[in-house]
Structure 1
Amino acid sequence: MRFVDTIHGLNEAFETDIPRNSVVLVTGAAGTLKSGFTFQVLSNYLNNVDEYGLYITLEQSEENHLKNMQSMGINLSKKLHISDFSDYRVMYGDFPDDLLNLLEQNILEFKRNTGEKCTCLAIDSLGALYSLLDIEPRELRKRMYRMLESFRRENLTTFLILEEGKASDINDSSTGAEGYLADGIIELGLHLKGNVANRYMRIRKMRAASHSMEPWILTVSDSGLKVYKGNF
């Protein structure tokens, strides 16, 4: 099973799979299906392999997150553990000063407890994480880089969700400062043409992989998300 076989049509946008141990940034404005896209990739992948994963949601409770996924026809894999921020509140009473270190240590502890079969991770989202940190931007980027390097050394394929402040458009080629952290960038956006609005997916970059650079239509069906060619 490949990551690119987890969403119908995604394997047509990729010629090869997302490389293991990569850091992949899933970015886009509100409402562009970033959480659904990432969750479906991990859940469907884990349903078909003898591996485990961790999905950390910093914005929603586990219950609300799962309701949202189910409303899009996305199933939960029993091998994908969901950790919401209420876990940290129960354990520590409040958000600690060094939240970034706490987050890293909890992820690495989950990896140690699960062993080599723990292969993938998602953090939803960077924006929520940043809002809870009081760190100068340059120092934050350094610490994020060190944390992600530790995940690579632990053989974790890591998906980072980042909400952009403005809506992405097909003609916009800019990327945020977080782009330097990532081996791959998958952009989800909204394209307006007359009175018609289409969500789209575009692979901005993916190191060591062959892929299309064109936008692909992204839709929600009864059986989850689908990607297919369209006219823009």
Structure 2
Amino acid sequence: MRFTDTIQGLNEVFGTDIPRGSVVLVTGAAGTLKSGFTFQLISGYLEKTNESGLYITLEQSRENHLNNMNSMGIAVSKKLHISDFSDYRVLYGDFPGDPLEILEKNILDFRQETGGSCTCLAIDSLGALYSLLDMEAKDLRKRIYRLLETFRREGLTTFIIFEDDRCSGINDPSTAGEGYLADGIIELGLHLKGNVANRYLRVRKMRAASHSMEPWILTVSENGLKVYKGSF
């Protein structure tokens, strides 16, 4: 089973699959389906394998996420464990000590508890994680990089959701400064042309994979998300 077979049309964007153990940044402005895309990608993959996964939400509750997925026709696999921020608040209060160490320990503990079957991880979102940390930007990015490098070495395919309103649109060639953290960047955006608005998907980079770098239309169908070629 390939990640790129989980969303209709995504296998046309990619010539090869997202490499296992990669760290992938899913970036875009609010309302561009970042959570839905990540949920469907991981859930669809897990349903066809003997593996399990972990989705950590640091902002919305588990119930809100599930309601949102249901509204878009996205099935969430029972093999995907969803852990919201309140889980950590109950266990650790207001994150006494180092939040990154606590996060890393719980992810690695979960992987061990599953006997190593946990191969997929999503963190929603990087911005929320930043808000928990009181340090200079330079030191912050170094710490995040070390955290993600741990996941790489564990062989966890990791998707990091990052809400970024700085991207000016489909014609903007720049990437967020956080791009250096990742092996891959999947940009989700909104393109306006006259009175028509289209959500789009574009793969900015994906190391060790072949893929299109053009924008593709991303839409919600009755059975979840769908990707197809269109004119902008």
- TM-score, structure 2 as length reference: 0.98
Alpha-carbon separation, structure 1, partners of 2:97 and 2:31: 31
Q: Deviations over 1:102-134 (max 9, x none)?
A: 111111111111122111100000011111210
Question: What amino acid does structure 2 have at the position aligned with 1:149?
Answer: E
Please name the residue that 2:135 is paired with. 135
Residue 198 of structure 2 corresponds to residue 201 of structure 1? no
Please name the residue that 2:30 is paired with. 30
Q: Tell me if structure 1 keeps the 8 A contact 2:57–2:84.
A: yes
Residue aligned with 2:19, SS: coil
Residue 163 of structure 2 corresponds to residue 163 of structure 1? yes
Please name the residue that 1:55 is paired with. 55
Alpha-carbon separation, structure 2, partners of 1:211 and 1:173: 17
The alpha-carbon deviation at position 30 of structure 1 amounts to: 0.3
* Higher mean C-alpha displacement, 192-201 vs 139-148: 139-148
Q: Tell me if structure 2 keeps the 8 A contact 1:216–1:230.
A: yes
Alpha-carbon separation, structure 2, partners of 1:123 and 1:111: 15
Aligned length: 232
* Higher mean C-alpha displacement, 3-12 vs 98-107: 98-107
Question: What amino acid does structure 2 have at the position aligned with 1:139?
Answer: D
Q: Deviations over 1:7-62 (max 9, x none)?
A: 00000000000000000000000000000000100001001100000000111000
Q: What are the within-5 Å matches in structure 2 for residues 1-232 of structure 1?
A: 1-166=1-166, 168-232=168-232
Q: Tell me if structure 2 keeps the 8 A contact 1:168–1:188.
A: no
Residue aligned with 1:115, SS: coil
Alpha-carbon separation, structure 2, partners of 1:16 and 1:81: 27
Q: Tell me if structure 1 keeps the 8 A contact 2:199–2:218.
A: yes
The alpha-carbon deviation at position 167 of structure 1 amounts to: 5.3
The alpha-carbon deviation at position 93 of structure 1 amounts to: 2.1
Q: Tell me if structure 1 keeps the 8 A contact 2:216–2:229.
A: yes
Residue aligned with 1:127, SS: helix
Question: What amino acid does structure 2 have at the position aligned with 1:18?
Answer: I
Question: What amino acid does structure 1 have at the position aligned with 2:205?
Answer: K
CA RMSD of aligned residues (A): 0.9
Residue aligned with 1:110, SS: helix
Which aligned runs of 4 or more in structure 1 are off by greater than 6 angstroms?
none
Query: Structure 1, unaligned stretches of length 5 or more?
Result: none
Alpha-carbon separation, structure 1, partners of 2:14 and 2:220: 20
Percentage of identical aligned residues: 77
Query: Structure 2, unaligned stretches of length 5 or more?
Result: none
- TM-score, structure 1 as length reference: 0.98
